[in-house]
Amino acid sequence: MRSYLGLDPGADGGVACEKRRYEITQADLPLSCPPRNLRVWDAHPRVYLPIEETQTGNYICPYCSAEYVLTDFTGPVTPAD
């Protein structure tokens, strides 16, 4: 199985926060930056980004300014109480 970054899940060879734009799908949610399959020892703290709650399906990481685009966005999802 390949991730949205093209790396095997759990692989430790990828460098976190290197790309500036990531295209993801609903299957990649929940979204975190750095992505789950990249090493984080040399990156910012992992944060979860609520991309599915946005009006546009885009989200910019507040730490590294990486842009995430939800390619199969169908509209904002209201979080459950």
pLDDT(3) > 50: no
Q: In terms of pLDDT, which residue wins out, 70 or 13? A: 70
pLDDT digits (tens, 9 = 90+) for 27-70: 999 999 998 777 777 788 999 999 999 999 999 999 999 999 99
If one counts every other C-beta atom within 10 angstroms of the C-beta of residue 43, the result is 17
Question: Is residue 12 predicted with pLDDT exceeding 60?
Answer: no
- At 48 the pLDDT is 95
Q: Spell out where the chain has E strands.
A: 21-24, 31-33, 47-49, 58-60, 67-70
Q: Is the pLDDT of residue 1 over 70?
A: no
